[in-house]
Every structure is written in C-alpha cells, then in structure tokens.
Structure 1
C-alpha cells in the first residue's frame, strides 16, 4: 500500500498500477457480496470454530437442498477466502454473527462484508482506490460506474510482467455488472438501472466497524487516513460528523493527548461486541 496525495494535501490510499497477473480474479462476476450466504458461513464458524467442520456442514446442507456441488464449491471458496485472508484490523469471523445481530438492515451487513471483499480482492481494491481518488479530487460525478468509466480504469492497470488487463469483452462486462451490484448493495447506487452514485449513508454498526478497521490498519495516522471511510467513498468534509457519531457511543471517546484532541476506542476496537453492543 502506497499513500499518495490528491494534490490538495489530503492523503489517500492507493495501489501501484502494477499487479501480478495471479492477483487478478474475476470471481465478482458470479458472487458479489452474497450477504445471506456469508452470514450463514460466519455463524457456522462461530459455532464450530474451525473451517474443516464448516466445510463439511456447508456441503452436506447444500447437497441435501439439491444445489450443485460446483456452484457450492465456488461460493464457499470465494466467501471463505475473504474471511480467512481478512486483516486483523477487521473483526474476526467468529464475532461477525454478534455484529450482524446489532445491524438494523441488510445494507448494514453488506457494508461490513464489503470491507472483507476489498481487503481480499486486489482487482476490486484497485478499482475502489481509483474511485476514492476521484472523490478526493472533487471530480464531477466521481462515482460514475458506467462500463465506459470502469473499463477506462481497468485499461490503466499494468501487470508486473509488463502485460495489461486483457479479458474477453463479455467477461469484463459481467465483471462491471458485478461491481455495480456490490455498489447497489452498499447503497452507493440506487436502483438496477442507475450507474452514477453518491456516498452512501452509513448505519451505526458498519460505522463502528469502519472506524475500527481504519484505526487498526493505519496506525497513529488513521484520523487523517480513515481507510474505512475512504472505501465507503466519504468526502473529507463529512469525517468530523462520523468521528462525533462514534464518540457519542460507549465504544469510542475523545482524549486530549499532547495538547491535541484524539479519538480512541475506550477498550479494543471491537470490545463493544462482547459488551453487548454500543449503539
């Protein structure tokens, strides 16, 4: 991860435009966030504590419901990859069911699962970072997710071996539709036909997770580089509002350190889960 400036002094997370070919996958064409399936896997993991048991139960239940094994394997592989490869800054999958129980809407759950997708999928992360830069730079209609704009972004990707993004047009278009479906699930796009979006409203629970993720991944600089808010396309002029919202809960508090006001978790970033909720 490289931090670059948008030209206005505001740092934003970015990726080198060079990725290894093996870093790029097109699984988004079929899977998206799959909130219900992901929640089911998280609950199985919380109950059984290891992925081997979860896998056995998952496939037994799928086959008994006449699902095809190939489809079940793909969904299982994609979703568990997001959980297994999640950074420690995100909640351990074992506590996700308790977090989901605090959520008010499916969108709340989707915004949380979206952070796991971005962390796990290099191509999605690359494209999200490009849109983060567009928002920070104040571009007109920065959240334009038309095929034309998405393909322009993908075409700028260079592999470390010197090659470029090169998939069949139909595959790329399906990927673009899959990416838009994720944007709809997290509230950026409104409606099936909409291609230009706005920063989504963030519920209390996904906000706490986004702030915990930002705090855990960016160290002491997290207040100027709140990764979770970047990834949800929130402009800088709204950050103070979000900081005040979490400080109004029992989970976070403002502290004066070295003459400056700082925002910190009152305990661990996700201690509010064990404490029965903080909102």
Structure 2
C-alpha cells in the first residue's frame, strides 16, 4: 500500500508528530505500507495544489495529521479533485471533534492497529458554495474563536484556548443578536438569533452532544439555532447544551435537512461562517449535504 501523509507542522499537540517515525517505521516493517510520501502543509492553496498533482492510482491511502482545520483542507482537496481513496486521520489538533466522535486515537499502537485493520465508513460531507466541511458550519456568537485563537496559543493550551477566547467575546456578544431568514424543506422563517450550528456529527467545539441526533451517513445535516434570549435563559441553555438536553428548549430551533439556506435580513450585517474551525464564506449561504462523499478509516 502506498500512502501519502499530509502533516500540519504547527498543529496543536506537536508531540504526536514526533511519533510519526515510529508509526511509519512499524507499518513499513510489518509490510502494511510499501511506499511513503510526506507533505508538510503551508497554507490551504498549497495543500490543494499538492493534492491536485497526485497522479491517479499512485496512492491507496491519504493520512491527515493535524486538527479539524487540517482535515478540512484535505477533504476539500480530495472531494474537489475526485481523489477516491480512503482518508485516515491522526489527530494532533486543538479539539479534533470529528476524530474524537469516532474515537480515533493518536496513540501510536492504536493508530497502527487501525491502519492494519482498514475498517472504513462512507461519510457525508457538507458543502457551502465551493467549500466543503466534514464536521460543522457555524455562524454568530462565539463561532469565530477557532480562527481567532493563534496557533501558538492553541498549541500551549489545547481546547482551553477556545474557551478563553470565547470568554473574552462574552461582553461584546451576549446581547448582540442577528436577524436571519431560514429556508428549509419548503419552509421559510425569520428568527432573531445568537448563533447557528449546522453539524454532521453530534460533537462541536469539544461538547459531545450539541447535535445529539446527528449521524454522518444519513444524508442529513443537523441544524441547531440558538434564538435571542435573556442572560438567565442563556445560562440555563448553556448548561443544557453541555448535557445534550437542549433541543426541546423554547429558545432552540432544531431541525434536520439535506439543504438549508441562511441569509441576514439586513445587507449591512456581515456574518462569516466557520467551517471546521476555518474561516469560511459570508452569508447568505446555502448549505447542503453530499451523501457518502468520502471514505474514512475508523477503529
């Protein structure tokens, strides 16, 4: 098996990357891997070019080493350029939502065993404009902390870097709502909201049950919208989100659909999407599912 490793050298827990020599060496010695090619990411454009220039049939597996943002870049390139081989993830980022949901470990022995077994699952991918996401598209309050926190800060403090960045945003965001128009399943509604999350897995931002009904192979995206509320309701709601008991809260709109359009009612309102922790498109946006678009190696 010929394998292409795509590695983010500045991603989260860099200690994982120090285990790569052991992982690759063991897989070569055990005759699981025949040839290896390693590429270190520079930016999204360069990663796309690297994937675009892979000759068809040259590799049998792509391994993304990094966090949710690195995986996002890799799946964008793979879907865009029709690279039809399985994707394995060695999580070394700040939060690793998708990998954590599937219990994909960065432990050396566990990762080697996973590659040896090569169990795979066909996974849905979300699409916004010309960009794709594996786990989440979100907008509004707190949804920009993923790309606002610096790489060094995330490397040092891990997922707590997001929480610190989120706390810093509370004073300016708590009472700032946005009015949006939501279209889905031939319905159209206007809502004044704090934030919206469109998810492919239940896990978002390290919280395990933000979208508790989500499945990665059902052809649907789970949409969780937090409507404007007072601080008392917000605190109660936040605690319910942590417990995964929020979807029946009166200030939550929860739905499943294969396509949703979200647009601000004011042209002066600028809302930027977060796609798997990366800065994405501006609203208005149509978010849809591409069923079983990518094959992922899972334990």
Q: TM-score, normalised by structure 2?
A: 0.26
Higher fraction of strand: 2
Q: TM-score, normalised by structure 1?
A: 0.27
